[in-house]
């Protein structure tokens, strides 16, 4: 099971004049930008609409992935979408446009599908992209991949 941690962006330290430890302060307003990040929470199967952890999917089971999209930046994001490349037909899914996320706000999604495309390991990749002009702080965290095994 692949997992990715979503880590809040670091704070800067303000210098002090009296030698006491610096207190954390937020970045200056000019440096505030959103940073959408996606992380895989778990892989498994859906049983009667409920997610259950599983590393392997057997015949007749419905594979699923749980993932989280969060704004780990310091400004409100713009609208955004996610895509999921799954080892099933159709192989690429694109979400509807999602609402902006405040800093440190996140949404959790469960994506179920019907059949894994091949025996053995199957990769599921989820990517997020913002509609914001000028981008965001870090695009390296805009995709995450999990592996789920078809056991038949």
Name 96's bridge partners.
none
- Please give the pLDDT value at position 8: 33
pLDDT in the model for residue 95: 96
- Map residue 105 onto helix, strand or coil: coil
Question: What is the spatial distance between Cα 48 and Cα 9, in angstroms, rounded to a whole number?
Answer: 38
Quickly count: other Cβ atoms within 10 Å of residue 34's Cβ.
23
- CB-CB contact of 52 with 44 (8 Å): yes
pTM of the model as a whole: 0.77
| Whole-number pLDDT of residue 1 | 35
List per-residue pLDDT tens for the chain, 152 residues long. 333 333 333 333 333 445 554 444 444 555 789 999 999 999 999 999 999 999 999 999 999 999 999 999 999 999 999 999 999 888 999 999 999 999 999 999 999 998 898 999 999 999 999 987 666 778 899 999 999 999 99
């Amino acid at each position: 099971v692949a997992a990715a941690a979503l880590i809040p962006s670091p704070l800067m330290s303000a210098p002090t004049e009296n030698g006491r430890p610096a207190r954390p302060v937020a970045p200056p307003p000019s440096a505030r930008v959103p940073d959408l990040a996606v992380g895989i929470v778990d892989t498994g199967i859906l049983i009667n609409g409920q997610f259950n952890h599983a590393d392997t999917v057997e015949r007749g089971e419905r594979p699923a992935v749980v993932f989280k999209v969060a704004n780990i930046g310091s400004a409100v994001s713009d609208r955004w979408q996610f895509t999921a490349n799954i080892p099933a037909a159709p192989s690429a899914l694109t979400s509807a446009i999602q609402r902006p996320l405040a800093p440190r706000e996140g949404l959790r999604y469960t994506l179920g599908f019907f059949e894994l495309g091949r025996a053995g390991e199957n990769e599921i990749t989820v990517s997020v992209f913002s509609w914001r002009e000028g981008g965001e702080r870090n695009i390296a965290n805009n995709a995450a991949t999990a592996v789920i095994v078809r056991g038949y």
